[in-house]
Amino acid sequence: MSLAAFFERLDRRWIYVIMALMVLVPLLWPLNLPLEPSPPVRAYHDVIAALSPGSTVLMSCDFDPASRPELEPMTRTTLRQLFRQHCKVVVVVLYPGGARLVDEIVQEVARENRQVEGVDYVNLGYKAGNEAVMVLMGQSIAGTFPRDYNGRDVTGLPIMQSVRNYSSCALLVSLSVGYPGTKEYVQQVQGRFHIPVIGGVTAVSAPTLYPYLQTGQLSGMLGGMAGAAEYEDLRFERGMASRGMDAQSLAHLFIVLCIVLGNLAQWERKWKETA
Amino acid sequence: MSPHLSPELGVWVAAALTLCIFSFLYRENPFYRFAEHLFVGVSAGYYIVLNFWTVLVANLWDPLAAAFNRPQGSPFAAHLGDYRAFLLLPALFGLLLFSRFVPRFAWVARWSLAVIIGVYAGLKTTGFAQGDFVAQVHGSIQPLWTGHWGSSINAWIFTIGLVASLLFFYFSREHKGALGSASRVGVYFLMISFGAGYGYTVMSRISLLIGRFQFLLFDWLGLR
């Protein structure tokens, strides 16, 4: 039987079974394949590492549970690095379905690092308005978010006493799944308010952000689960992203094999048709 | 490695629904249909409630209530820097959108749409001009000899790719001769970028699968 005929008869469910095994097996029995942090990931890490203690960082977490596997690990690791450097973290959410999830992550990492809510960090919650909210924060963050996620008046919180607008922040960290997200922060905020921006994004949106990385508009970037795993590696952590990378690598190898075999089958068919 | 099943009901419901969705890979079945319909219904309800409390109440009702409950003076206190009462205006524009349900007055909704489109066109234009146009054109002008072979070769590849890709999108002349050759080079660069985009998309989708399997194995079955 020819390769083309074999693939035409092959039940596609066998491909699903093999793909499932490629993911399941390394999750249960890790291979610990090596990871080498890429320059954008190193830049992301180094920008945070260069912050002085006490600096205020605005962290926009614009994602929902659908992109959790990629963005939750980078959110956790970023928060840990910021807290361990004694930075003040102001969290905002511009993605409607993400406020609860983001709050869970922030509270958990803050508890783990013994940070005091309202003093060392604050979650201002979700605000509708996309780019309009980004621009409004340039005038006043407290005016844009009068109440935090728990409904408290933000003007009474100690952390907000020194936070007026972007000029009060040493860095903007944008962790986003799509629109509104890192691209919009670069367009609306980075150039206009002259604040350094670093971004953590899903792998799907990473290619669209490389031009901003090249021009320096984006000072560092984590792209997808691989970016999150490389960042964990730099921080000497073994989180969910690092544990998923063996499965990611094997699944990619299987997809490459499928593409190569599919092309061979097509060439074989064309060769037989012309012969 | 022994299982320690989760005692949480929510985890069991999430695991059951995940398996229902995965069952579609075998074939179409009632379990998949049930999970799909449940997801659509719950999502619609969730987002309606979420938008009511985080948009209507937080951005409109609360500020208006505070403005009209001022202990003294008019609620329209712009001279004191209090613009909250003027939220009546966007509220009115929001209500006008519903005029589309009455065909005779449907045209009134255009006023609201004009405001929405005008504001976003302004925001997008300035954002694009600052973030994309000027900065990207500035970043594209690179010295072709940087003093180092590696970065100089990068600059040449970048410049050739940029010019060739732009020429591919020049449609005012037939792609023949020098223009045809240059645009063909542009196609190769575009193909490479599509390939990179495809690779990243695969990585994203596999990440979602890994996330679900991690949930099933570690959170639900408790395999550690």
Closest CA to A125 of A90, A156, A155: A90
According to DSSP, residue B52 is labeled I
CA distance A11 to B62: 58
pLDDT in tens, B19-61: 999 999 999 999 999 999 999 999 999 999 989 998 899 889 9
* Tens-level pLDDT at each residue, chain B (224 residues): 788 999 999 999 999 999 999 999 999 999 999 999 999 999 999 999 989 998 899 889 999 999 998 887 888 887 877 888 999 999 999 999 999 999 999 999 999 999 999 999 998 999 899 888 999 999 898 899 988 999 999 999 999 999 999 999 999 999 999 999 999 999 999 999 999 999 999 999 999 999 999 999 999 999 87
Chosen for mutation from A23, A213, A242, A249 (greatest number of chain B CBs closer than 10 Å) is A23
Q: What is the mean pLDDT of chain A?
A: 94
- Say whether B123 and A188 touch across the interface (CB within 8 A): yes
What residue in B sits closest to A208 (Cα-Cα)? B197
| Cβ distance of A187 and B217 shorter than 8 Å | no
pLDDT at A275: 78
Q: What is the pLDDT of residues A97-155, one digit of tens each?
A: 889 999 999 999 999 999 999 999 999 999 998 999 999 999 999 999 999 999 899 99
Taking the Cβ of residue B211 and every Cβ of chain A, the question of whether any pair is shorter than 8 Å is answered with yes
DSSP state of B78: G
Chain A interface includes B2 (CB < 8 A) = no
Q: Which residues of A touch B50 (CB under 8 A)?
A: 96-97
The pTM for the full model equals 0.91
Best residue in A131, A155, A213 for a mutation probing chain B (most B CBs within 10 Å): A131
User: pLDDT tens across A44-95, in order?
Assistant: 999 999 999 999 999 999 999 999 999 999 999 999 999 999 999 999 999 9
Cα→Cα distances A195→A146, A174, A198, Å: 22, 12, 10
- Beta partners for A220? A198
Closest CA to A247 of A1, A18, A25: A25
Asked if the C-beta of B214 comes within 8 angstroms of chain A's C-beta atoms, the answer is: yes
A2 token code pair: 């020819």
Alpha helices in chain A (DSSP H): 3-9, 12-28, 39-49, 68-84, 99-112, 131-137, 141-144, 182-185, 191-193, 206-215, 224-234, 240-274
Tens-digit pLDDT profile for residues A178-224: 999 999 999 999 989 999 999 999 999 999 999 999 999 999 999 99
Give the closest of A70, A128, A217 to B204, CB-based. Answer: A70
Hey, are the CB atoms on A68 and B211 less than 8 Å from each other?
A: yes
Q: How far apart are CA B93 and CA B169, in angstroms?
A: 41
B208 and A203: CB-CB below 8 Å? no
Among A190, A203, A248, whose Cβ lies nearest the Cβ of B131?
A: A190
Distance, in Å, from the CA atom of A224 to the CA atom of A242, rounded to the nearest integer, reads 12
Element (DSSP H or E) covering residue B29:
none
Q: Which amino acid is present at A47?
A: V
For the beta carbon of residue A12, count every other beta carbon within 10 angstroms. Answer: 9
Return the DSSP state at A125. Answer: E
B201 touches chain A (CB under 8 A): yes
A266 phi/psi in degrees, rounded to 5: -65, -45
- Residue from A25, A72, A225 to probe the interface with B (highest B Cβ count within 10 Å): A225
* Contacts with B8 (C-beta within 8 Å, 6 or more apart), sequence order: none
CA distances from B160 to A269, B135, B168, B185, B186 (A): 36, 19, 12, 9, 8
Which of A197, A241, A49, A60 lies closest to B204, judged by CA? A241
pLDDT of residue A4: 85
